Structure 1
Amino acid sequence: MHIAIEQAKGRDKAGLWGPAARLLLGLSLLLGIAYPLAVTGVAQVLMPHAANGSLIVRDGKVLGSALIGQDFHKAGEFWGRPSATGGSAYNGAGSGGSNLGPSNPALRKVVAERIAVLKAAGPVPAGAIPQDLVTASGSGLDPHISLAAALYQLPRVAQQRKLSEAKLRALIDAHTEHGWFGDNARVNVLRLNMDLPR
């Protein structure tokens, strides 16, 4: 009796391989090929610019993506939020924050260095330096700075480019984006720097 039961169990297990293999193949085709193709097709139809990386093109040349920050560091440019991606700045393959807490001496040191660089670059307004100019974001790729961070840099960029602060302020205002919830005003650094008078 015991042998008969074991033989029946063996036959039942052998009979499951076919349905399991068919289920694996079917789900692989559905979720690994059909679904991604469908989502890609819908995105290409409804929002092709975003689906292709939100690339910013001028005169046939790709200048960057509106979604990933760039390493601007000249005195006559607006600077973005610092990147903590390691290696080269704004490296998408190394996306991530520094994971240093506010009491960490290494973070204090790097923030102090960034403050010194900001102050040495040119005139700065009185008051506190906006936090996003001296600390990295969680991704290390943030393409935006706060409106306060853009305004903090306004005197330096105006002096370097020999522009009136009023004209530059109007350009910042034209590039200011507002969030859906609350004010949360922010400026895309690449777009702003692209439109600076040459």
Structure 2
Amino acid sequence: MTELNRQAATIERATLGMGCFWGPDSRFGQLPGVIRTRVGYAGGTTTDPTYRTIGDHTETLEIEFDPEILSYEEILTVFWQNHDAAKDRFYKERQYISLLLYHSEEQKRIAYQIKTEQEQILGKEIQTEFQPYTVFYCAEHRHQKYFLRRFSKAMDSLLPLFPSDKAFVDSTIAARLNGFVREFGTLKDIRAEIHHWGLDPDNEHVLKELLENIKW
């Protein structure tokens, strides 16, 4: 239900690889301005990768965000401050490399600028691989909102609000709660933020009542 999601006049996208995609999904999902997140595979050449047959792709996180609330610069700062991008060797070849897929020449320009700034802060040469975005393959459902799915009682309350598992995965509330269960943000923060999502009063009430009654 898009009417339960944060509304935005403009939506931009960031696609990043920073190791196993479960953790970044939680870390970025709790940021105000993020509308939805999904995990998947990108950066390679093989078609239709899966977790078992990933080929030369990398585990990646795709973020849709409102640039009026959260800037691409801020996203990249979180990106580089929360994984070791100075490594030039990675476990399982390309699956867990540091990867940035830019969606425009402006994103590319900003990325190189922030990279230089972060190298000065970290005192290390960043080895992140840069590529233009071409295609993103969504990962299997079991990997989407991985940590939130471990709370079966909460899932029993959440899933009936959405017409499909995909709609649940793409929801703002799932992104926030997937961050909350990893101790990124609080339920109080989410309740306060919902008022600014541009929802009609009935749908705002639905989400606030959910947060009031949800069991873990």
Give the TM-score, by structure 2 length: 0.20
Higher strand content, 1 or 2 = 2
Give the TM-score, by structure 1 length: 0.22
Higher radius of gyration, 1 or 2: 1
